[in-house]
Copies of this chain bind each other. A is one copy, B any other.
Amino acid sequence: MSKISGVLETSLYVSSLELSTTFYQDIMKFRRLVMDQRFCALSVSDRQVLLLFKQGASLQAMTIAGGVIPPHDGHGELHVAFAIDPGELGSWEQHLNQSGVPIESRVEWERGGHSLYFRDPDRHLVELVTPGCWAIY
């Protein structure tokens, strides 16, 4: 059995798919892959997808052609962090300012990385991090 190769899908549960999709497309620059009334899938990178689920819309198992997707749902102000390249912190900060997204906090990590924290439309805690946060990044 080989190891898992990575996180493919990270999920957030949102009150308005339209507002959140706009935020992650326009501010975060993710590319929309699929969207319906239940969810929106956005491409973060080559092999990573951010899933925005309308709150309460996935509480029932869903039968599709290839099988059954079991129920799931979530609430709260979840945390998700995205990696940015070293030296990109300033331009992201400027972009967030120009986009009217308040920066809630900044952290400098012991290993030298820097983080910016801000909120998406549901107040999920979004972080941008440069390398030097974890032992592996």
Given A71-B77, A136-B46, are A7 and B4 neighbors across the interface (CB < 8 Å)?
no
Any B CB within 8 A of the CB of A48: yes
Which of B4, B75, B91 makes the CB contact (< 8 A) with A82? B4
Binary B-proximity of A43-57 (CB < 8 A = 1, otherwise 0): 111111111010000
A111 to B53, CA, bound (A): 22
Which of B4, B5, B71, B105 makes the CB contact (< 8 A) with A68? B105
Give the number of chain A interface residues (Cβ < 8 Å).
76
Given A2-B85, A77-B73, are A107 and B66 neighbors across the interface (CB < 8 Å)?
yes
Complex contact A110–B66 (CB within 8 A): yes
Complex contact B29–A82 (CB within 8 A): no
Instruction: Name 11 A/B residue pairs within 8 A (Cβ), A-sorted.
Output: A7-B44, A8-B134, A11-B78, A43-B136, A49-B136, A68-B107, A69-B107, A71-B125, A72-B76, A73-B76, A74-B75
